[in-house]
Amino acid sequence: MTGSDLLYDSARQGLVVLALATLPALLAALAIGLVIGLLQAATSINEATLSFVPKLVGVALVLLLMSGLVGGTLADFARDSIEAIPRLAR
């Protein structure tokens, strides 16, 4: 494997790790926003700030619960990236 192939593979893996690390928080914000949007549409309450606090609490809770998994994924990627440095120098 050449240095450029290793670099492209590392960049691809970095994007996958980025997607996996952000996905839980984004899905929580999307689901909470959808539910609150439906409730606002059903009750004709058009207050933009109404959805902020539930989203904030929901995303914080998801980040707290998923921090071990996300942290492990980021640590594995960092370890693999550091171990690949000598192969890039060849």
Residue 84: φ, ψ to 5°: -85, -10
pLDDT, tens digit, for every residue of 37-82?
A: 999 989 988 887 888 999 999 999 999 999 999 999 999 999 999 9
Number of domains within the chain: 1
Helices marked H in 1-90: 3-43, 52-83, 85-88
What pLDDT was estimated at residue 62? Answer: 96
What pLDDT was estimated at residue 17? Answer: 95
What pLDDT was estimated at residue 46? Answer: 81
> Domain of 32?
3-88
